[in-house]
A and B are shown apart, each in its own frame.
Chain A
Amino acid sequence: MNYRDIIVFDFETGSRNPAKTQPTQIAAIALHGRKLTAQPGGIFNSEIRPILNDDKAIEMGLDPVEDEALDITHKTRKELAKAPHLKTVWKKFGEFVNKFNFKKTPYFAPIPAGYNIIGFDLPIVQRVCEEHGPTDKQGRQCLFNRIHKVDVMDMVWQWMENNPDVKSLSMDSMREYMGFPEESKEGAHDALQDVKDTANMMIRFFKFYRSLAPKVKFEKAFADGNFYV
């Protein structure tokens, strides 16, 4: 099978609704698809200036930036007011992602990965792409690969669903459970730290799968006619 690079990414945002939230930071780390190592020059990190005027944000159909969200992400309105706007950052992010699309076609676009990206970050990507590009003729984002995506939270769920020691599937719980060092916990909700921790979890799972793969036989798995449903 052809391989593509994987880009683990994460947004920090000003609220919880992916349809209306305003990103305040984006970070990403590009991994070599086969080697699962960080690509040289493969780290992206930028704060994003949201619309800090609540009325203006609402008028534009966006959620105002919540103080609670700022507390969680350790950001202040003053700092964010100095950050570059989403449009400019998004363009740079597009250039960054494109660096790892080695054939420069949508089919070879890097695979998006992250923690809870299917439910949260990818809808934001779609929304921002609709506003600032790139999209295809059908209006679908074409920054990342559209066929494959890796949500590490799903991987965790598949392996931990019956594990009573796991309190929840949140990133913080998993950090605790998997024994990430203190500095990781301190940096929680900084997009870059979250991305690094997510990438480490994902690589651990991938390496495990790859070591198992040659030992598990799926070929003709249903040839004996034994179906579950």
Chain B
Amino acid sequence: MFDINDTSYDCRKTWSLICDGRTKGVFQLESQLGRSWAKRLKPRNIEELAALSALLRPGCLKAIVDGKSMTQHYVDRKNGHEETSYLDESLKPILEPTYGVLVYQEQSMRIAQEIAGFNLQQADDLRKAIGKKKAGLMAEVKKTFIRGCENVSIVSKEIAEEIFGWIEKSNRYAFNKSHAVSYAICGYWSAYCKAHFPLHFYCSYLYHSHGKQDQQQEVKELVSDAKMHDIIVMPPKIDNLKSHFNIKDGNIYFGLRDVKYIGDSQVEKVVSGIEEIEKKYNQGIKDISWYRILINLADKVNSNAMLALISIGALNSDYTITRNRMLYEFETWSSLTKKEKDWARENCDDPQGLFPERGNRGLETTLEKLFPTKKEGGGTHNSKRREIVRDLLDLLKNPPYELEDVPDWIATEEHKYLGVSLTYSKIDGCDTGASNTTCKEFLQGKPGKVVLGVEIVSLREWTIKKGNSKGSIMAFLSVEDSTASMDSVIIFPEAWLKNKPLLYAGNTVLLSGKKSSKDTTLIVEKVFQI
């Protein structure tokens, strides 16, 4: 039995996951910001992870000193790109663990204790004065601080004033260390689970995605991230219709409650309906034909739920019939009256196998038998209904439009009902012969010039505010293919102008470009329609 308290804090796999920025779902580091700074800061222990969660706060990111944010100073110093310096050497023991950056409120308190001789109560008063921004209290504490520094005589009065000013400014960003360490431990635990039990990790996060502000976006990001870890998330399947996200045979399956237009009451009806069908035919649902599922389930659940289930492939007991054909047959079945449906169930089905001529018939055969009036030996009540059912039969035999499932359609329908395309991506229906890599391979570091076949998920234009290109427009794209999503794609002004007509959400294109020298950002040079 796994106990989170037994985890060691030196797991290489866990720290690699954090350092690589694969932290979607990791506590405090799951945002794009968290992922990108985790990659830059590369924490290797709880102390550094705690600093990261403190440095990720807006205060630190916005506190600019010498043209750089405090967060950037920390990262540069940690990675040896900037020399670590101290306002006074006496501060070194206190600030050394954070590379000279005043990250925590506790550090301010310790400075006051060391160089101004504050006791714990006074140090706490200092913290409160800074935190609550009370001018009167602040002035009073400052006097005490300077006087204390003079008495202790570790630093001069000028340095003491400078240090106090520095502490005062830190109120914009300094964080509570005990809080940061708790965050770091929780973050490490969640990263540990992700590294060691990815299947259960993703299933659990998907299960709790409804608690997020934008559930659809959360599910989309988790599914995409799961793909990067070779974990497949699938739509509900006929023989695995559960309420919630669940694991079966090494894959994660959507639950019925996670499908749009299927409410709680419908979930119960679907599950009990399937159970009744299995009982009626004394077979597992996977061995029961679509026709039998249709005539027995369609009237027990509401129409929207049926449309959703069919569209996402949740009612495919075998794959000889397309989802479009099933939708078409469902619409046809729904056009029959209740009495006609009852007649069909009674006369065109044989659950016990007593009348082989009734057998397991398809809808076409049923309508053929049904359309004559009762007097003529059929199941319709009058000539008007006979004509209508005969029309339905004709249109079932010769549908006026194609009932094939194409990847683009499946991707669109799954996106509509599940918030994410699982079986196919839109790109699967396109000719991507000219591409030389996939999103996943690119993110894993494929070098050189790349050509990617992708769907543009979203696009954000940005007007450049500085430099030679001031006023020009560039764009940031989020793209995806069936292997992964990439939200770090940049197109600079020249390429943007040339390719603007092709760049819109929903379009499928080939992007030709190269990887940025710093990270896994794709810099697009050319765009081709596919």
Q: Give residues in A with beta carbon < 8 Å to B.
A: 3, 34-35, 40-46, 49, 82-85, 87-89, 91-93, 95-96, 99, 102, 210, 214
Contacts and interface: CB of A to CB of B under 8 A. Distances in A.
15 contacts: A34-B507, A40-B402, A41-B401, A41-B402, A41-B403, A41-B406, A44-B401, A84-B390, A84-B394, A84-B395, A85-B391, A91-B335, A92-B401, A95-B331, A102-B412
A93 B406 contact: no
Contacts of A44: 400-401
B504 interface: yes
B404 A40 contact: yes
Contact of A88 (B395, B399, B412): B395
A37 to B, nearest CB: 10
B476 interface: no
A41 B392 contact: no
Given A41-B403, A95-B328, 17 more contacts: A3-B504, A35-B529, A40-B404, A40-B408, A41-B402, A41-B406, A44-B400, A84-B390, A88-B391, A88-B392, A89-B391, A92-B401, A93-B400, A99-B409, A102-B412, A102-B416, A210-B501
B388 interface: yes
A42 to B, nearest CB: 8
A164 to B, nearest CB: 35
A40 B429 contact: yes
Interface residues of B, number: 28
A180 B258 CA distance: 51
A95 B416 CA distance: 17
Contacts of A91: 331, 335
Nearest to B390: A84
Contacts of A99: 409
Contacts of B230: none
Contacts of B357: none
A46 B391 CA distance: 11
B387 A41 contact: no
B324 interface: yes
Interface string B364-397: 0000000000000000000000011011101100
Nearest to A214: B501
A84 B391 contact: yes
Interface string B394-426: 110001111110101100100010000000000
B396 to A, nearest CB: 10
Contacts of B400: 44-46, 89, 92-93, 96
B420 to A, nearest CB: 16
Nearest to A95: B331
A41 B324 contact: yes
A3 B392 CA distance: 34
Contacts of A88: 335, 388, 391-392, 395
Q: Which among A35, A41, A46 has the greatest number of chain B C-beta atoms within 10 A? A: A41
A34 B504 contact: yes
Main secondary structure, interface of A, reads mixed
A158 to B, nearest CB: 23
Chain A to chain B: the 10 pairs with minimum beta-carbon distance, closest first:
A84-B391, A46-B400, A40-B406, A88-B391, A41-B402, A44-B401, A84-B394, A96-B401, A44-B400, A85-B391
A84 B392 CA distance: 8
Contact of A43 (B402, B408, B501): B402
Q: Which among B324, B331, B391, B392 has the greatest number of chain A C-beta atoms within 10 A? A: B391
Contacts of B429: 40
Given A84-B395, A91-B335, A43 B401 contact: yes
A185 to B, nearest CB: 25
Q: Which among B399, B403, B404 has the greatest number of chain A C-beta atoms within 10 A? A: B399
Interface in B285-338: 324, 328, 331, 335
A214 B401 CA distance: 37
A136 B378 CA distance: 37
Contacts of A92: 331, 395, 399-401
A102 B403 CA distance: 18
Contacts of B406: 40-41
A85 B507 contact: no
Nearest to B331: A95
A50 to B, nearest CB: 13
A49 B391 CA distance: 10
Contacts of A49: 391
Contacts of A214: 501
B320 to A, nearest CB: 18
A26 to B, nearest CB: 8
Contacts of B331: 91-92, 95
A83 B394 CA distance: 8
A46 B328 CA distance: 15
Nearest to A83: B394
A41 B404 contact: yes
Contacts of A87: 388, 391
Nearest to B394: A84
Interface string B275-293: 0000000000000000000
Contacts of B394: 82-84
B332 to A, nearest CB: 9
Interface in B187-238: none
Given A84-B395, A91-B335, A96-B401, A41 B388 contact: no
Contacts of B402: 40-41, 43
Contacts of B401: 41-45, 92, 96
Nearest to A37: B529
Interface string B501-530: 100101100000000000000000000010
A82 B391 CA distance: 9
Nearest to B405: A41
B12 to A, nearest CB: 47
B404 to A, nearest CB: 6
A93 B399 CA distance: 11
Nearest to B501: A210
Contacts of B506: 34
